[in-house]
Amino acid sequence: MISKIRLIIACIVAVVLIALCTTVAIQSSRIKALNEDLSYASANEKALLMENDSNKNHIRGLQLTINQLNYYNDSIITKLNQAKKELKIKDKNIKDLQYLKTLASKVDTVKLTDTIFVDNFCMDTVIQDEWHKTSLELCYPNTIIVEPEFTSEKVIVAHTRRETVDPPHKCWLVRLFQKKHNVIVVDIKENNPYITTKEYQHIEIVK
């Protein structure tokens, strides 16, 4: 009888210990997840606070889940979502998204040795569209001032894609059994029709 009681007590203790260990493991996992969420929220808060910083060459990155990316209605995030849809990239394959808008301008002044305009002549005009603007000023007696401006708006999407390690076989059936690996592909979408991306390099640091 005593041995049975001891056995029952041992079983109860074992069950309690298993329950405690399970509870500790679950709570530890939740705490870790909450700490990660807190870290992401803190990093995103700093990134948003630095948006109005005068130093535009030092920018904090946002850390968002796919659900957050698809939920937010921020104008830039909307453009990023639109770009990934146009490029037909699946959400699960996205590595990172980048948006870059820049303005390039330069003033050139030409003064000729001879008088080319009549007395008191002056003309100031602007030729422009959504992505380009040229200011032209002609002044008596011999001055020509030109100021072109170009706006560049880029969306950069880095994502993974499954490709065969060896060159893909001509027969589709053989390709099904070829060894594959994940490669990183970077798509650059430049919205300005006058600008072409000449060179770009994406490097992922692996451990």
pLDDT in tens, 86-141: 888 999 999 899 999 999 999 999 888 888 888 888 889 999 999 999 999 999 88
The residue assigned the tokens 């999407």 is 157
- Backbone Cα Rg of the chain: 31
Asked whether residue 4 carries a pLDDT value surpassing 70, the answer given is no
Q: Are 14 and 6 in contact (CB under 8 A)?
A: no
For residue range 51-62, list pLDDT tens digits in order: 555 556 656 677
Domain residue ranges of the chain, discontinuous segments joined by +: 1-57, 108-147
What DSSP state is assigned to residue 62?
A: P
Closest alpha carbon to 47 in 77, 91, 92: 77
Is this model's pTM higher than 0.75 or not?
no
Question: What mean pLDDT do residues 1-16 have?
Answer: 68
Which amino acid does the sequence have at 77?
Answer: I
- In angstroms, the CA 1 to CA 96 distance is 67
Cα(185)–Cα(54) distance, integer angstroms: 32
